[in-house]
């Protein structure tokens, strides 16, 4: 049995990460992945359904910046609108400075404190601090022609990539590019000069899908097991989150003849690594007023990390379910209890 599960895992990993080139929301690969997931589960006898939503894809055609005859390395901001133009550059390092700055018809360079962390996307509702909303609102009010951000090495952010895009939001319509802190320091010396910025990118309208599969009796409480199927643009997303989807696929197979007293629902969410989490919002809307039917949700993300243990974090579990889960966890050496 273990060997069968292992070889199935390898097959699924190959399909999700190699044969399908990318699973970012809105991409063709993303639609292929959700189609594959649905086909597999319906083939195992699960009752499947797809929920469709709008999801924009984005094409990166590169960016260039010139100032006083010097070229600077910049990258087009993910999901940004394109830009082409020559404008005077103003520099802003914190919110107080942003409040006072005259940004209209200027290109603004954000550097230092204000560029330390990504403000949350405008329509991301689960966590969005006032300070982030304020920065976005001030930028929209100031209406600069374009934004350049020089971002630091904050490894906790954006998957540890450097430089990271300060703005990653398809709902934000001021064109943006980003650069390293070092390039930002070089460019800062030219504050007040005019800069020529070309950023070639394209927002491509498309669709995305959540896939839901159910088994078991109608009209009972549900056990809902979820994993997001999308991956960050430009990554194969093996650990984030092909492995989570593979757990769902293996579980679907193990439960193909399940006849227990509860309904089991498996959901491939679509949009965790995308600015406005459209799949999760769609699911919340579709289940409005029905969350009390959910006995338990197990969400899987980043399972099977090679260089560390997989953590199982309990949130608001009733005492009996908590005791049962910790009992199971302790019998597997690769799993530990995570943060609550």
Task: From 37-45, 93-101, 264-272, 280-288, give the range in contact with Zn ion by CB under 5 A.
Answer: 264-272
The yes or no reply on residue 241 touching Zn ion (CB under 5 A) is yes
**C-alpha dist (Å) from residue 260 to 13, 159, 296:** 29, 40, 15
C-beta of 280: minimal distance to Zn ion in Å? Answer: 11
The yes or no reply on residue 113 touching Zn ion (CB under 5 A) is no
The yes or no reply on residue 24 touching Zn ion (CB under 5 A) is no
The yes or no reply on residue 240 touching Zn ion (CB under 5 A) is yes
Residue 212 or 241 having the CB closest to Zn ion: 241
C-beta of 273: minimal distance to Zn ion in Å? Answer: 6
C-beta of 157: minimal distance to Zn ion in Å? Answer: 15
Task: From 64-72, 79-87, 142-150, 234-242, give the range in contact with Zn ion by CB under 5 A.
Answer: 234-242
Taking the CA atoms of 74, 75, 76 and 78 in sequence, report the sign of the dihedral they define: negative
Task: From 82-90, 163-171, 268-276, 320-328, give the range in contact with Zn ion by CB under 5 A.
Answer: 268-276
Residue 194 or 299 having the CB closest to Zn ion: 299
C-beta of 177: minimal distance to Zn ion in Å? Answer: 26
Footprint (CB under 5 A) of Zn ion, residues 285-304:
301
Close Cβ partners of 95 (under 8 Å, ≥ 6 residues apart): 114, 131, 134, 135, 138
Residue 168 or 198 having the CB closest to Zn ion: 168
Binding stretches for Zn ion (CB under 5 A): 240-241, 272, 301
């Amino acid at each position: 049995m273990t060997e069968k599960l292992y070889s199935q895992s390898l097959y699924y990993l190959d399909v999700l990460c190699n044969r399908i080139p990318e699973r970012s929301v809105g991409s063709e690969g993303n639609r292929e992945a959700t189609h594959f997931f649905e086909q597999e589960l319906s083939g195992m006898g699960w009752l499947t359904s797809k929920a469709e939503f709008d999801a924009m894809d984005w094409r990166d055609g590169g960016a260039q910046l010139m100032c006083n005859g010097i070229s600077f390395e910049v990258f087009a901001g993910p999901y940004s609108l394109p830009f082409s133009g020559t404008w005077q550059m103003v520099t802003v390092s914190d919110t107080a400075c942003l409040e006072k700055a005259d940004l209209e018809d200027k290109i603004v360079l954000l550097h230092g404190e204000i560029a330390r962390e990504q403000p949350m996307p405008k329509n991301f509702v689960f966590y969005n601090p006032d300070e982030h909303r304020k920065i976005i609102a001030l930028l929209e009010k100031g209406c600069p022609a374009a934004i350049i951000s020089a971002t630091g090495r904050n490894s906790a952010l954006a998957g540890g990539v450097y430089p990271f895009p300060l703005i990653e939001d398809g709902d934000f319509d001021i064109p943006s590019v980003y650069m390293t802190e070092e390039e930002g320091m070089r460019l800062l010396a030219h504050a007040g000069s005019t800069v020529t910025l070309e950023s070639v990118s394209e927002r491509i309208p498309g669709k995305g899908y959540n896939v839901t599969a159910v088994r078991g009796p109608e009209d009972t409480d549900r056990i809902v097991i979820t994993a997001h199927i999308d991956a960050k643009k430009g990554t194969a997303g093996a650990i984030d989150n092909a492995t989570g989807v593979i757990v769902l696929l293996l579980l679907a197979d193990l439960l193909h003849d399940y006849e227990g007293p509860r309904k089991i629902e498996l959901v491939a969410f679509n949009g965790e690594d995308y600015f406005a989490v459209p799949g999760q919002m769609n699911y919340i809307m579709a289940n409005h007023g029905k969350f009390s039917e959910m006995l338990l949700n197990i969400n899987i993300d980043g399972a099977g990390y090679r260089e560390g243990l997989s953590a199982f974090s309990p949130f608001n579990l009733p005492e009996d379910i908590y005791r049962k889960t910790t009992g199971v966890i302790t019998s597997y050496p690769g799993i530990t209890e995570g943060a609550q």
